[in-house]
Structure formats: structure tokens, C-alpha cells
Amino acid sequence: MVARACSEMHVEDLASATIGEVLLVAQWLEKETGVPFIRMDQGSPGLPMNHYGIEAEKAALDSGVGSQYPAAAGVPELKAAASRFVKAFIGVDIAPEGCVPTTGSVAASFGSFIACTQRIPGKSKVLFIDPGFPIQKSQLRVLGIEWKEFDIYPYRGAAALGPKLEEELADGSVAAIVYSNPNNPAWICLEEEELEVIGRLATKYDVVVMEDLAYFCMDYRRDLGHPFQEPYLPTVARYTDNYILMLSASKIFSYAGQRIALCCISDSLYRRQYPSLAERYHDSGVFGVTLTASILYMITSGCTATTQYGYARMLELSCDGVIDFVEDTREYERRARRMKDIFRTHGFRVVYDRDVTREVGDGFFFTIGYGSMSGSELVRELMYYGVSSISLATTGSLRGGVRACVSRMREELYPVLDERMAAFAADHPLV
């Protein structure tokens, strides 16, 4: 049946299938069999939308903003709220002009890849600190941009990461470095010493660091999320002026369906003038202005106005301490812990198991391996037991295993998962 599902959904090989392709196969099998799947494939929020955002959007629509095109740079209320939010939870200053709304972080990275690789002749490649979000490499395929990559697993800590980055950056071809923190798919978190190395070398080689903060303050091992109080979110922004922070509303406010995020560009980078950009776009060549008006606007023509007001309201209330988005999303930590316990009971292991100084935390994602199975083998075998996931190979990882997302887990599915993994272990005895 899995083979037939792949054929009918035109999925050539589950081993290299995209998240969307795995999702289609799982949905087909659920429909055909009536058997519910343990859906660990797509990272879609599994919590209710933030009601403050909903009410603010309703009010904005009632006020009539829907009849006018929003400015490409974003509505002033959102830009101001974003600047304050960055100060409150990251502890760095970014002017409102550099806080640009995008239709999700996917649009933010798409536009940023274009601007970063066109700003300086000869600097045209992107370096991925993997494992990472597969969609970003798909974007580079669309754009025809080359990339370099390395799996960070054997290079944790400043002593190992520094020389590896020097090796990758030395030829001067890299325009941007991209990673997520906490990491999708591994949930590892870069520590301060590693971020300092990345920032220092980004300045040395004039590389823009694109820091994807989709899972903002969701490292539940630390007491993050208190506005204007330490500890602040770890970030490369403390160690270089060459950065773009991508802040999505999808996970922290469960606002994925509204497609809203922020591309927060450092003041220095935003205002820097590049002759190559001016020549190509026949504009000022100022990085932030070109990215906003000549690139992002060509992709989406701006973001939905009402959604911007909803996002602004949620950011404002977070800064005021009314919304505690860290506590609101902590359910993911509980789900991950319970799911990991079930997998470990039946012989699985966590693949990316440690950060530099401590065991990896529990959150939106985790990674699992089984015996000597490759990720390709495991994603296929788990599908036979009604569990859908994606191979770590599709994320740039060199480790054997799969990514597990906890967002769709429900209370009644824990005993189902336990039963199925017991059957899996019985059929695949470890030597």
C-alpha cells in the first residue's frame, strides 16, 4: 500500500521525499485504511491561534484597512512593535525601518538570499550550517544560487567550529551563512562561544548571517521570555553587524495560517550602500531599501494589512508581559519528552543528543535513529507502522535517522505510538 501511495502521489522515493511529499503519502494511507497515522512529518503548529491577534485583525478589518494596499516596508505599528520586541527579548537595538514584514520566514529567506548574493561581485554562494530546513535549499535551486554545507555534529564548540568555518569562508565566495536556532530538525542550540565565532568570522569575511529564529525562545532549558530582563535570547547579533534575524509568528503565536514574519536587518547592514545593487536595480543600492522595495515587493507585493496589525498587537502585549508565549508553547516540551521516552523504550536513540555543554532539550522537533538503519531505510520502515517522518539526509545531515515533529501529537495517540513501536522493535531486533 505504501508503494501504491507513492505511485499515485507521484513520489519517486520516500528516502529523498520532501516534507510535502511525505505528507501526501501519509494522508493517502490514512484515507485508504481509516487507520490514524502518527504524524511526525510537517512542522505545523498544534496549538490554538493567539486570540489577541485574531481580535486585532478583526478590528483592523472593521476599520477599513483592507481597502488600501499596505506599504511594502510594513505598517508603522508593526515596525515599531518589532523594534521594541527585539529589544525586549534579544537585548539588541534594531531601528523600526529595518524591521520588514514578510509573508512568513520562507519569503524572508527567499528575498534575503537574492540581496545577499548580489551585493558584492564574486560573493555568490550560501553556506548552510546543517542540519537545516530543506525548503531553503529548494529556494536556492529555484534561484540558481550555489551553496556549500557542512554537518555541525562533529564541529561543536568554538575550538572545532572556528577552523571549519575558516576553511569554508577562506576562498571569499560565500555571501551568507544560514542556520536556525533552536535548530530545525535537530533541536540543538548554538551556544554563546559558537555564536561569537560565527559573528567574528562573518565580519572578517564580510558575510551576512541569516539567523532563523522560527522557534523563538523555545529552548525551555533556560528561563527565557521575560521582557527587558536577562537572560536574553542567544544571538549572533551581539557579535557582528552583518546579520538578518527572521522572526516568524507561526510557532510562538500558532499563527502559521496567516503567513506573517519579520525580516529584521541590522542598522549597519540596512543602511550600507552597494554599487552592484544600484546598478542591477537602478535604485540607491542601499541594502535594506533594495531588499524591501526592489526584491521583496516583487515577490509578494507586501503582507496582508490586517495580519500585520494582528502581529503588531501580539508583539506589543508580549513586551508588556500580557502574553507569555514561552509558557503558551511549553506543551511541545512535554510532548517531546513523552514521545522520546516511548521511542527509547523500544530501542531507538536520539541522534543529535547533545549541545556543547549539556544534553539537547525537548521541544518542537527531535531526531531518532534505530540500530544501523540509514535515515532512508527508517523513514520507509516507520511508514509501514503508521508513523510518518522525514529522513535527516534531506536536511543536510550526515547522521542516520529521521526528524520527528511533536506538534500533531494528541493524548489518545501515545498508547498507539507505544503499541506500534513495540511491534516495530519485535520485527527489527537489535543485535
AA letter at 219:
D
206-260, pLDDT tens digit by residue?
Answer: 999 999 999 999 999 999 999 999 999 999 999 999 999 999 999 999 999 999 9
85: Cα within 13 Å, side-chain hemisphere:
29
Report the C-alpha gap between 46 and 39 in whole angstroms: 11
40-90, pLDDT tens digit by residue?
Answer: 998 899 999 999 999 999 999 999 999 999 999 999 999 999 999 999 999
Residue 430 dihedral angles phi and psi, to the nearest 5°: -80, 135
Q: How does the average pLDDT of the chain come out, rounded?
A: 96
| pLDDT value at residue 335 | 98
Cell representation of residue 202: 562573518
Report the C-alpha gap between 16 and 95 in whole angstroms: 42
The single-letter DSSP state of residue 154 is G
The full 3-state SS of 121-141, as one line of letters, equals CCCCEEEEEECCCHHHHHHHH
Q: How confident is the model at residue 15 (pLDDT cuts 50, 70, 90)?
A: confident
| pLDDT value at residue 311 | 98
Report the C-alpha gap between 425 and 379 in whole angstroms: 15
| pLDDT value at residue 86 | 98
Tell the residue number behind the cell numbers 508553547, with chain if given: 329
Report the C-alpha gap between 241 and 103 in whole angstroms: 25
| pLDDT value at residue 303 | 96
AA letter at 359:
E
Q: Is residue 149 within 8 Å of residue 396, measured between CB atoms?
A: yes
pTM: 0.95
Residue ranges and CATH numbers for the domains of the chain are: 2-47+328-427 (3.90.1150.100), 51-319 (3.40.640.10)
pLDDT of 14 higher than 80: yes
